[in-house]
Structure 1
Amino acid sequence: MTSLANFPITTRWAPKDSSVIQLYSFPTPNGVKVSIALEEMGLAYEPHLVTLSDSDVKSPEFLSLNPNNKIPAIIDPNGPTGPIGLWESGAILLYLGEKSGKFIGTNAAEKAEITKWVMFQMGGLGPMFGQMGFFYKFAGKEIEDPRPRERYRDEAKRLLAVLDGALEGKDWIAGDYSIADMAIAPWLNALNFYGTRDAVGFDDLKNVPAYLERFMTRPAVGKAMNIPARPV
Protein backbone atom coordinates (compact mmCIF):
# COMPACT_ATOMS: atom_id res chain seq x y z
CA MET A 1 0.00 0.00 0.00
CA THR A 2 1.21 3.48 -0.87
CA SER A 3 1.66 5.68 2.18
CA LEU A 4 -0.05 9.06 2.16
CA ALA A 5 1.11 9.92 5.67
CA ASN A 6 2.81 13.10 4.43
CA PHE A 7 -0.59 14.56 3.48
CA PRO A 8 -2.37 15.85 6.61
CA ILE A 9 -5.69 16.01 4.74
CA THR A 10 -5.87 12.23 5.05
CA THR A 11 -6.27 12.49 8.82
CA ARG A 12 -9.74 13.99 8.26
CA TRP A 13 -10.70 12.41 4.94
CA ALA A 14 -9.12 9.02 5.42
CA PRO A 15 -8.51 6.89 2.32
CA LYS A 16 -9.96 3.42 2.15
CA ASP A 17 -7.50 2.51 -0.59
CA SER A 18 -4.37 4.64 -0.50
CA SER A 19 -3.12 3.13 -3.78
CA VAL A 20 -5.64 5.04 -5.93
CA ILE A 21 -6.17 8.73 -6.71
CA GLN A 22 -7.85 10.59 -3.86
CA LEU A 23 -10.42 13.17 -5.02
CA TYR A 24 -11.52 15.94 -2.64
CA SER A 25 -14.47 17.69 -4.18
CA PHE A 26 -18.10 18.76 -4.32
CA PRO A 27 -20.38 18.48 -7.39
CA THR A 28 -20.10 22.07 -8.60
CA PRO A 29 -19.13 22.86 -12.22
CA ASN A 30 -15.46 22.97 -11.23
CA GLY A 31 -15.76 19.88 -9.09
CA VAL A 32 -17.42 17.63 -11.65
CA LYS A 33 -14.82 18.47 -14.28
CA VAL A 34 -12.44 16.18 -12.42
CA SER A 35 -14.90 13.41 -11.60
CA ILE A 36 -15.92 13.39 -15.28
CA ALA A 37 -12.29 13.12 -16.36
CA LEU A 38 -11.59 10.30 -13.94
CA GLU A 39 -14.65 8.39 -15.13
CA GLU A 40 -13.94 9.00 -18.82
CA MET A 41 -10.29 8.00 -18.46
CA GLY A 42 -11.04 4.90 -16.41
CA LEU A 43 -8.59 5.89 -13.68
CA ALA A 44 -9.07 4.30 -10.28
CA TYR A 45 -10.02 6.88 -7.66
CA GLU A 46 -11.72 7.42 -4.33
CA PRO A 47 -14.01 10.43 -3.89
CA HIS A 48 -14.24 12.40 -0.65
CA LEU A 49 -17.04 14.92 -0.15
CA VAL A 50 -15.67 18.32 0.86
CA THR A 51 -18.54 20.73 1.36
CA LEU A 52 -18.26 24.42 0.52
CA SER A 53 -18.66 25.41 4.16
CA ASP A 54 -15.75 27.10 5.91
CA SER A 55 -15.59 24.20 8.32
CA ASP A 56 -14.41 22.03 5.42
CA VAL A 57 -12.63 24.18 2.83
CA LYS A 58 -10.97 26.40 5.43
CA SER A 59 -10.08 23.58 7.77
CA PRO A 60 -6.38 23.06 8.51
CA GLU A 61 -6.54 19.65 6.90
CA PHE A 62 -7.93 20.89 3.58
CA LEU A 63 -5.68 23.96 3.54
CA SER A 64 -2.69 21.66 3.95
CA LEU A 65 -3.43 20.40 0.43
CA ASN A 66 -4.93 23.52 -1.13
CA PRO A 67 -4.03 26.83 0.54
CA ASN A 68 -6.46 28.53 -1.87
CA ASN A 69 -9.34 26.78 -0.03
CA LYS A 70 -11.22 25.74 -3.19
CA ILE A 71 -12.37 22.38 -4.48
CA PRO A 72 -11.39 20.24 -6.31
CA ALA A 73 -8.05 18.86 -5.25
CA ILE A 74 -6.43 15.48 -5.69
CA ILE A 75 -3.63 13.33 -4.39
CA ASP A 76 -2.13 10.88 -6.84
CA PRO A 77 -0.15 8.30 -4.87
CA ASN A 78 1.46 7.18 -8.13
CA GLY A 79 2.77 10.50 -9.40
CA PRO A 80 5.79 10.94 -11.66
CA THR A 81 8.27 10.82 -8.78
CA GLY A 82 6.01 9.63 -5.97
CA PRO A 83 2.80 10.90 -4.38
CA ILE A 84 1.72 14.32 -5.64
CA GLY A 85 -0.99 16.73 -4.52
CA LEU A 86 -2.69 19.03 -7.02
CA TRP A 87 -5.34 21.74 -7.03
CA GLU A 88 -6.92 24.04 -9.64
CA SER A 89 -9.33 22.11 -11.83
CA GLY A 90 -7.67 23.03 -15.13
CA ALA A 91 -4.27 21.92 -13.89
CA ILE A 92 -5.77 18.65 -12.68
CA LEU A 93 -7.40 18.01 -16.07
CA LEU A 94 -4.09 18.56 -17.85
CA TYR A 95 -2.30 16.28 -15.39
CA LEU A 96 -4.85 13.49 -15.70
CA GLY A 97 -4.83 13.76 -19.47
CA GLU A 98 -1.04 13.36 -19.50
CA LYS A 99 -1.18 10.54 -16.98
CA SER A 100 -3.80 8.55 -18.86
CA GLY A 101 -2.73 9.52 -22.37
CA LYS A 102 -6.39 10.18 -23.15
CA PHE A 103 -8.44 13.20 -24.23
CA ILE A 104 -5.41 15.47 -24.52
CA GLY A 105 -4.51 15.07 -28.21
CA THR A 106 -1.99 12.92 -29.99
CA ASN A 107 0.61 15.56 -30.89
CA ALA A 108 1.87 18.94 -29.73
CA ALA A 109 -0.46 20.90 -32.01
CA GLU A 110 -3.56 19.08 -30.78
CA LYS A 111 -2.47 19.46 -27.18
CA ALA A 112 -1.96 23.20 -27.66
CA GLU A 113 -5.44 23.58 -29.16
CA ILE A 114 -7.02 21.66 -26.30
CA THR A 115 -5.05 23.62 -23.70
CA LYS A 116 -6.18 26.89 -25.31
CA TRP A 117 -9.83 26.03 -24.76
CA VAL A 118 -9.21 24.79 -21.22
CA MET A 119 -7.70 28.21 -20.49
CA PHE A 120 -10.68 29.90 -22.18
CA GLN A 121 -12.90 28.22 -19.64
CA MET A 122 -10.62 28.84 -16.69
CA GLY A 123 -10.12 32.54 -17.43
CA GLY A 124 -13.47 33.35 -19.03
CA LEU A 125 -16.49 31.09 -18.83
CA GLY A 126 -15.98 29.96 -15.24
CA PRO A 127 -15.27 33.32 -13.57
CA MET A 128 -17.83 35.28 -15.61
CA PHE A 129 -20.62 32.72 -15.28
CA GLY A 130 -19.91 32.40 -11.57
CA GLN A 131 -20.14 36.16 -11.04
CA MET A 132 -23.31 36.31 -13.12
CA GLY A 133 -24.80 33.59 -10.94
CA PHE A 134 -23.98 35.59 -7.84
CA PHE A 135 -25.90 38.61 -9.13
CA TYR A 136 -28.85 36.58 -10.45
CA LYS A 137 -29.32 33.81 -7.89
CA PHE A 138 -27.45 34.62 -4.71
CA ALA A 139 -26.86 37.66 -2.51
CA GLY A 140 -26.01 39.92 -5.41
CA LYS A 141 -29.59 39.85 -6.67
CA GLU A 142 -30.54 42.13 -3.76
CA ILE A 143 -28.30 44.91 -5.08
CA GLU A 144 -30.48 47.54 -6.71
CA ASP A 145 -27.80 48.94 -9.01
CA PRO A 146 -28.25 46.91 -12.23
CA ARG A 147 -24.77 47.57 -13.59
CA PRO A 148 -22.91 44.65 -11.97
CA ARG A 149 -25.58 42.19 -13.11
CA GLU A 150 -25.62 43.65 -16.62
CA ARG A 151 -21.83 43.59 -16.86
CA TYR A 152 -21.54 39.88 -16.12
CA ARG A 153 -24.59 39.00 -18.21
CA ASP A 154 -23.18 40.83 -21.22
CA GLU A 155 -19.76 39.25 -20.81
CA ALA A 156 -21.37 35.81 -20.49
CA LYS A 157 -23.29 36.46 -23.72
CA ARG A 158 -20.07 37.53 -25.46
CA LEU A 159 -18.23 34.41 -24.37
CA LEU A 160 -21.11 32.20 -25.46
CA ALA A 161 -21.01 33.83 -28.89
CA VAL A 162 -17.29 33.04 -29.12
CA LEU A 163 -17.98 29.42 -28.22
CA ASP A 164 -20.94 29.19 -30.58
CA GLY A 165 -18.86 30.40 -33.51
CA ALA A 166 -16.00 28.05 -32.69
CA LEU A 167 -18.38 25.06 -32.65
CA GLU A 168 -19.60 25.66 -36.20
CA GLY A 169 -19.35 22.38 -38.06
CA LYS A 170 -17.86 20.55 -35.06
CA ASP A 171 -19.19 18.15 -32.44
CA TRP A 172 -16.46 19.05 -29.93
CA ILE A 173 -14.56 22.26 -29.31
CA ALA A 174 -11.01 21.12 -30.13
CA GLY A 175 -11.53 18.31 -32.62
CA ASP A 176 -12.07 15.00 -30.87
CA TYR A 177 -13.75 14.91 -27.47
CA SER A 178 -11.22 16.15 -24.93
CA ILE A 179 -10.54 17.62 -21.53
CA ALA A 180 -11.50 20.98 -23.04
CA ASP A 181 -15.08 19.78 -23.33
CA MET A 182 -14.93 18.41 -19.78
CA ALA A 183 -13.91 21.90 -18.65
CA ILE A 184 -16.43 23.91 -20.68
CA ALA A 185 -19.68 21.95 -20.71
CA PRO A 186 -20.26 21.73 -16.92
CA TRP A 187 -20.26 25.53 -16.83
CA LEU A 188 -22.82 25.66 -19.63
CA ASN A 189 -24.97 23.29 -17.63
CA ALA A 190 -24.67 25.62 -14.63
CA LEU A 191 -26.82 28.20 -16.44
CA ASN A 192 -29.80 26.00 -15.52
CA PHE A 193 -28.86 26.18 -11.84
CA TYR A 194 -28.36 29.94 -11.97
CA GLY A 195 -31.63 30.44 -13.86
CA THR A 196 -29.89 32.55 -16.51
CA ARG A 197 -30.49 30.64 -19.75
CA ASP A 198 -33.05 33.17 -20.93
CA ALA A 199 -30.97 36.15 -19.79
CA VAL A 200 -28.05 35.11 -21.99
CA GLY A 201 -30.18 33.91 -24.91
CA PHE A 202 -28.89 30.36 -24.58
CA ASP A 203 -31.62 28.71 -26.65
CA ASP A 204 -31.12 31.20 -29.47
CA LEU A 205 -27.54 30.05 -30.03
CA LYS A 206 -26.93 27.93 -33.11
CA ASN A 207 -24.44 25.33 -31.89
CA VAL A 208 -24.00 25.49 -28.12
CA PRO A 209 -27.32 23.90 -27.01
CA ALA A 210 -26.74 20.76 -29.09
CA TYR A 211 -23.13 20.64 -27.89
CA LEU A 212 -24.26 20.62 -24.27
CA GLU A 213 -26.86 17.96 -25.01
CA ARG A 214 -24.23 15.73 -26.61
CA PHE A 215 -22.03 16.14 -23.59
CA MET A 216 -24.73 15.45 -21.01
CA THR A 217 -25.78 12.19 -22.69
CA ARG A 218 -22.34 10.62 -22.26
CA PRO A 219 -22.61 7.79 -19.68
CA ALA A 220 -19.48 8.86 -17.78
CA VAL A 221 -20.82 12.41 -17.52
CA GLY A 222 -24.19 11.25 -16.22
CA LYS A 223 -22.46 9.20 -13.52
CA ALA A 224 -19.93 11.84 -12.56
CA MET A 225 -22.35 14.76 -12.17
CA ASN A 226 -23.05 13.67 -8.59
CA ILE A 227 -19.59 12.50 -7.54
CA PRO A 228 -18.90 12.90 -4.69
CA ALA A 229 -22.58 12.48 -3.90
CA ARG A 230 -24.28 15.53 -2.49
CA PRO A 231 -25.40 15.17 1.13
CA VAL A 232 -29.05 14.20 1.46
Structure 2
Amino acid sequence: MARLAAAPGPGRHPAVAVRPRLRTELLLLLICYGAYEVVRNLVPTDHAMAAHRAYLILDLEYAVNLDVEYALNRLFAEHTWIAIPANYFYATMHFVVTIGVMLWLYVRHPGRYPLYRSLLFATTLIGLVGFWLFPLAPPRMLPGFTDTVISFGTWGIYDSGPTAEVSNQYAAMPSMHMAWALWSTTAIITIVRRRWVVALAVSYPALTVVIIMGTANHYILDAVGGAVALALGYALALGAFRASTLALLSRGHPLI
Protein backbone atom coordinates (compact mmCIF):
# COMPACT_ATOMS: atom_id res chain seq x y z
CA MET A 1 0.00 0.00 0.00
CA ALA A 2 1.33 3.45 -0.91
CA ARG A 3 2.25 5.60 2.05
CA LEU A 4 1.45 9.29 2.09
CA ALA A 5 3.02 12.32 3.67
CA ALA A 6 1.16 14.67 5.95
CA ALA A 7 -0.27 17.81 4.42
CA PRO A 8 2.49 20.41 4.00
CA GLY A 9 2.55 23.82 5.56
CA PRO A 10 4.15 26.90 4.02
CA GLY A 11 7.58 26.00 2.72
CA ARG A 12 6.96 22.27 3.16
CA HIS A 13 6.01 19.75 0.52
CA PRO A 14 4.50 16.29 0.47
CA ALA A 15 6.80 13.30 0.12
CA VAL A 16 4.67 10.71 -1.64
CA ALA A 17 6.36 7.32 -1.76
CA VAL A 18 4.90 6.29 -5.11
CA ARG A 19 5.35 8.35 -8.29
CA PRO A 20 2.00 9.15 -9.96
CA ARG A 21 1.29 7.11 -13.09
CA LEU A 22 2.74 8.80 -16.16
CA ARG A 23 -0.20 7.90 -18.39
CA THR A 24 -2.64 9.41 -15.93
CA GLU A 25 -0.57 12.56 -15.54
CA LEU A 26 -0.22 13.06 -19.29
CA LEU A 27 -3.96 12.61 -19.78
CA LEU A 28 -4.66 15.06 -16.96
CA LEU A 29 -2.28 17.61 -18.47
CA LEU A 30 -3.86 17.28 -21.92
CA ILE A 31 -7.37 17.65 -20.54
CA CYS A 32 -6.45 20.67 -18.44
CA TYR A 33 -4.56 22.38 -21.25
CA GLY A 34 -7.41 21.72 -23.68
CA ALA A 35 -9.90 23.15 -21.20
CA TYR A 36 -7.63 26.15 -20.68
CA GLU A 37 -7.51 26.92 -24.41
CA VAL A 38 -11.25 26.45 -24.88
CA VAL A 39 -12.22 28.64 -21.93
CA ARG A 40 -9.56 31.23 -22.76
CA ASN A 41 -10.99 31.65 -26.24
CA LEU A 42 -14.54 31.99 -24.91
CA VAL A 43 -13.63 35.14 -22.99
CA PRO A 44 -15.93 38.05 -24.00
CA THR A 45 -14.43 40.10 -26.84
CA ASP A 46 -15.82 43.61 -26.45
CA HIS A 47 -12.97 45.65 -27.92
CA ALA A 48 -14.29 49.02 -26.74
CA MET A 49 -14.54 47.85 -23.14
CA ALA A 50 -11.18 46.03 -23.29
CA ALA A 51 -9.49 49.16 -24.68
CA HIS A 52 -11.17 51.34 -22.05
CA ARG A 53 -9.77 49.10 -19.33
CA ALA A 54 -6.34 49.30 -20.96
CA TYR A 55 -6.35 53.08 -20.64
CA LEU A 56 -7.50 52.79 -17.04
CA ILE A 57 -4.51 50.51 -16.38
CA LEU A 58 -2.14 52.98 -18.03
CA ASP A 59 -3.62 55.89 -16.09
CA LEU A 60 -3.20 54.01 -12.82
CA GLU A 61 0.40 53.10 -13.66
CA TYR A 62 1.14 56.70 -14.62
CA ALA A 63 -0.25 57.89 -11.29
CA VAL A 64 2.20 55.68 -9.39
CA ASN A 65 5.14 56.08 -11.81
CA LEU A 66 4.99 52.50 -13.11
CA ASP A 67 4.18 53.29 -16.76
CA VAL A 68 7.32 51.75 -18.28
CA GLU A 69 5.65 49.80 -21.11
CA TYR A 70 5.97 52.43 -23.82
CA ALA A 71 9.66 53.11 -23.19
CA LEU A 72 10.47 49.39 -23.22
CA ASN A 73 8.42 48.84 -26.35
CA ARG A 74 10.24 51.68 -28.12
CA LEU A 75 13.58 50.15 -27.14
CA PHE A 76 12.58 46.75 -28.51
CA ALA A 77 11.03 48.18 -31.68
CA GLU A 78 14.19 50.14 -32.51
CA HIS A 79 16.62 47.24 -32.06
CA THR A 80 16.21 44.10 -34.13
CA TRP A 81 18.74 42.18 -32.05
CA ILE A 82 16.54 42.69 -28.99
CA ALA A 83 13.09 42.33 -30.56
CA ILE A 84 13.53 39.09 -32.51
CA PRO A 85 14.95 36.98 -29.64
CA ALA A 86 12.34 38.54 -27.33
CA ASN A 87 9.54 37.51 -29.69
CA TYR A 88 10.72 33.91 -29.73
CA PHE A 89 11.24 33.95 -25.97
CA TYR A 90 7.66 35.15 -25.47
CA ALA A 91 6.30 32.56 -27.89
CA THR A 92 8.09 29.52 -26.53
CA MET A 93 9.76 29.76 -23.14
CA HIS A 94 6.63 29.69 -20.97
CA PHE A 95 5.87 26.27 -22.47
CA VAL A 96 9.45 24.96 -22.60
CA VAL A 97 10.41 25.95 -19.07
CA THR A 98 7.10 25.01 -17.45
CA ILE A 99 7.01 21.58 -19.07
CA GLY A 100 10.69 21.09 -18.31
CA VAL A 101 10.22 21.87 -14.63
CA MET A 102 7.19 19.57 -14.44
CA LEU A 103 9.19 16.71 -15.96
CA TRP A 104 12.09 17.40 -13.59
CA LEU A 105 9.75 17.30 -10.60
CA TYR A 106 8.07 14.13 -11.82
CA VAL A 107 11.34 12.27 -12.47
CA ARG A 108 13.65 13.62 -9.77
CA HIS A 109 11.26 14.76 -7.03
CA PRO A 110 8.07 12.70 -7.28
CA GLY A 111 7.22 13.40 -3.65
CA ARG A 112 6.92 17.11 -4.39
CA TYR A 113 5.37 16.77 -7.83
CA PRO A 114 1.67 16.45 -6.83
CA LEU A 115 1.56 19.71 -4.89
CA TYR A 116 3.37 21.67 -7.60
CA ARG A 117 1.19 20.16 -10.30
CA SER A 118 -1.90 21.14 -8.33
CA LEU A 119 -0.44 24.60 -7.76
CA LEU A 120 0.08 25.08 -11.50
CA PHE A 121 -3.47 23.96 -12.29
CA ALA A 122 -4.98 26.13 -9.55
CA THR A 123 -3.00 29.17 -10.68
CA THR A 124 -4.11 28.67 -14.27
CA LEU A 125 -7.72 28.28 -13.16
CA ILE A 126 -7.52 31.58 -11.31
CA GLY A 127 -6.02 33.13 -14.44
CA LEU A 128 -9.03 31.99 -16.45
CA VAL A 129 -11.32 33.63 -13.91
CA GLY A 130 -9.34 36.83 -14.36
CA PHE A 131 -9.71 36.62 -18.14
CA TRP A 132 -13.47 36.30 -17.78
CA LEU A 133 -13.90 39.06 -15.24
CA PHE A 134 -11.49 41.56 -16.77
CA PRO A 135 -10.99 41.25 -20.56
CA LEU A 136 -8.15 43.64 -21.33
CA ALA A 137 -6.62 44.92 -24.55
CA PRO A 138 -2.82 44.46 -24.52
CA PRO A 139 -0.56 47.44 -25.29
CA ARG A 140 0.10 46.28 -28.88
CA MET A 141 -3.57 46.96 -29.66
CA LEU A 142 -3.31 50.60 -28.60
CA PRO A 143 -2.14 53.52 -30.76
CA GLY A 144 1.54 54.34 -30.32
CA PHE A 145 2.68 50.84 -29.38
CA THR A 146 4.45 48.49 -31.80
CA ASP A 147 3.48 44.86 -32.19
CA THR A 148 7.02 43.51 -32.50
CA VAL A 149 5.86 40.18 -33.95
CA ILE A 150 4.16 41.85 -36.90
CA SER A 151 6.87 44.50 -37.20
CA PHE A 152 9.70 41.96 -37.43
CA GLY A 153 7.77 39.12 -39.07
CA THR A 154 8.65 36.44 -36.53
CA TRP A 155 6.76 33.19 -36.04
CA GLY A 156 5.36 31.25 -33.14
CA ILE A 157 3.49 33.92 -31.23
CA TYR A 158 -0.05 32.98 -30.33
CA ASP A 159 -1.63 36.38 -29.76
CA SER A 160 -0.69 38.37 -32.84
CA GLY A 161 0.01 37.84 -36.51
CA PRO A 162 -1.87 35.11 -38.45
CA THR A 163 -2.59 32.96 -35.38
CA ALA A 164 -4.45 35.83 -33.72
CA GLU A 165 -7.61 34.69 -35.51
CA VAL A 166 -7.79 31.57 -33.33
CA SER A 167 -6.75 33.18 -30.06
CA ASN A 168 -8.65 35.52 -27.79
CA GLN A 169 -6.85 38.84 -27.81
CA TYR A 170 -8.14 40.11 -24.48
CA ALA A 171 -6.91 37.34 -22.16
CA ALA A 172 -4.16 39.50 -20.69
CA MET A 173 -4.96 40.02 -17.00
CA PRO A 174 -3.36 38.27 -15.20
CA SER A 175 -0.26 37.39 -17.21
CA MET A 176 0.08 33.61 -17.33
CA HIS A 177 3.59 34.07 -18.70
CA MET A 178 4.49 35.71 -15.41
CA ALA A 179 2.49 33.32 -13.25
CA TRP A 180 4.06 30.25 -14.84
CA ALA A 181 7.54 31.80 -14.67
CA LEU A 182 7.11 32.44 -10.95
CA TRP A 183 5.76 28.91 -10.50
CA SER A 184 8.85 27.48 -12.20
CA THR A 185 11.18 29.61 -10.09
CA THR A 186 9.38 28.68 -6.87
CA ALA A 187 9.66 24.98 -7.64
CA ILE A 188 13.38 25.24 -8.37
CA ILE A 189 14.55 27.46 -5.53
CA THR A 190 12.68 25.46 -2.87
CA ILE A 191 14.55 22.32 -3.91
CA VAL A 192 17.90 23.26 -5.45
CA ARG A 193 20.70 24.75 -3.36
CA ARG A 194 23.32 25.47 -6.03
CA ARG A 195 23.71 29.24 -6.20
CA TRP A 196 24.12 29.45 -9.96
CA VAL A 197 20.93 27.45 -10.50
CA VAL A 198 19.04 29.65 -8.05
CA ALA A 199 20.40 32.75 -9.81
CA LEU A 200 19.22 31.46 -13.19
CA ALA A 201 15.83 30.56 -11.75
CA VAL A 202 15.36 34.01 -10.24
CA SER A 203 16.48 35.73 -13.44
CA TYR A 204 13.82 33.91 -15.48
CA PRO A 205 10.73 35.80 -14.19
CA ALA A 206 12.76 39.03 -14.13
CA LEU A 207 13.56 38.61 -17.82
CA THR A 208 9.99 37.52 -18.52
CA VAL A 209 8.46 40.67 -17.08
CA VAL A 210 10.74 42.84 -19.23
CA ILE A 211 9.94 40.86 -22.38
CA ILE A 212 6.17 40.74 -21.95
CA MET A 213 6.19 44.54 -21.72
CA GLY A 214 8.84 45.18 -24.37
CA THR A 215 6.92 43.12 -26.92
CA ALA A 216 3.77 45.09 -25.99
CA ASN A 217 1.86 42.01 -24.88
CA HIS A 218 1.30 43.00 -21.25
CA TYR A 219 1.31 45.83 -18.73
CA ILE A 220 3.35 45.68 -15.56
CA LEU A 221 0.10 45.32 -13.61
CA ASP A 222 -0.61 42.16 -15.62
CA ALA A 223 2.63 40.79 -14.19
CA VAL A 224 1.52 41.78 -10.70
CA GLY A 225 -1.74 39.99 -11.43
CA GLY A 226 0.23 36.88 -12.36
CA ALA A 227 1.99 36.95 -9.00
CA VAL A 228 -1.35 37.35 -7.22
CA ALA A 229 -2.78 34.41 -9.20
CA LEU A 230 0.14 32.25 -8.05
CA ALA A 231 -0.38 33.25 -4.42
CA LEU A 232 -4.10 32.47 -4.60
CA GLY A 233 -3.31 29.26 -6.45
CA TYR A 234 -1.00 28.21 -3.63
CA ALA A 235 -3.75 28.72 -1.07
CA LEU A 236 -6.22 26.78 -3.22
CA ALA A 237 -3.83 23.92 -4.00
CA LEU A 238 -2.66 23.62 -0.41
CA GLY A 239 -6.22 23.54 0.86
CA ALA A 240 -7.17 20.87 -1.67
CA PHE A 241 -4.09 18.80 -0.81
CA ARG A 242 -4.80 18.95 2.90
CA ALA A 243 -8.43 17.98 2.32
CA SER A 244 -7.43 14.99 0.18
CA THR A 245 -4.83 13.92 2.73
CA LEU A 246 -7.36 14.06 5.56
CA ALA A 247 -9.78 12.03 3.44
CA LEU A 248 -7.13 9.35 2.92
CA LEU A 249 -6.29 9.35 6.62
CA SER A 250 -9.94 8.83 7.46
CA ARG A 251 -9.85 5.68 5.33
CA GLY A 252 -6.88 4.32 7.26
CA HIS A 253 -3.95 5.15 4.96
CA PRO A 254 -0.73 5.42 7.02
CA LEU A 255 1.62 8.39 7.00
CA ILE A 256 5.36 8.38 6.49
TM-score by length of 1: 0.31
TM-score (norm 2): 0.29
Greater Rg over alpha carbons, structure = 2
Greater strand content: 1
